[in-house]
Amino acid sequence: MTKEFSMNDQRVAVVSGGSRGIGKAIALTLAAQGSAVVVGFHGAADAAARVVEEITAAGGRAIAFQADVADEVAVAEMFDAAEKSFGGVDVVVNSAGRLSLSPIADLDLDELDALHRTNVRGAFVMAREAARRVRPGGAIIALSTSVVGLRFPGYGAYAAGKGAVEAMTMVLARELRGRDITVNAVAPGPTATELFLQDKDEATVERLAKQPPLERLGTPQDIAEVVSFLASPAGHWVNGQVVRANGGII
């Protein structure tokens, strides 16, 4: 049975994809705000260990846990580890993701399957486990992308998967009626991460940076601050929403 959360307890966050990029910034920000954090990772064990070291060096509590988000057994074990180490789960952030850029006409279907295994099946598995485990007063947050609305060429498969994430987020928010759990998605615009910058020349990056009225790329910390608000008691009245954190790009 799900344990009732008391505001006197330390909140516990599970962050998939927490070893690098936006996920790392989210893990560090939630820890700085007082949450114990499970830093989920797939292959970057050393990077995840460094995130844990940074959190614990600052006086926080964290563990790293290896899990492929599309593997329901591994994800359940990650949540088990959160409950065993810290007593429960209050916040779940699924920031694990895979990016493939190609015109729709040219995309290899094996790559499409691999992309959607992580971005769609993985998001579903994380949401399903979160729905079973998160305590009252908690929050479930998925990472989408502003490309769903911006429709950049080459992002067809990626945007399609994230459109599915937004749809399941809206459905889950309604399915958890009466549980006092919020479900939202955050949709970053162009953000200066290793994943985003790979295979882009300087001119492309500069062009994308000029598109928002704020005339810069987002940073992982920009996105982490939005996520941390939605995860906090202060953001608990926001529910069933997609927050497009993109500097005003339209």
Separation of alpha carbons 239 and 214, rounded Å: 27
Terminal-residue alpha carbon distance, the chain: 44
The active-site residue, picked from 5, 86, 124, 158, is: 158
Of 168, 9, 189, 148, the closest CA to residue 83 belongs to 9
* SS3 track for 144-176: CCCHHHHCCCCCHHHHHHHHHHHHHHHHHHHHC
Contact 131, 174 (CB under 8 A): no
Burial of 237 per CB tally in 10 Å (0-12, 13-18, 19+): exposed
Q: Would you list the DSSP string of 54-93?
A: HHHHTT--EEEEE--TT-HHHHHHHHHHHHHHHS---EEE
* Region label for 41, one of left (φ > 0), alpha (ψ between -120 and 50) or beta (otherwise): beta
b/e code 87-126 from CB counts within 10 Å (16+ = b): ebbbbbbbbbbbbbebeeeebeeeebeebbbbbbbbbbbb
- Is position 155 annotated as part of the catalytic site? no
Residues that are catalytic: 158
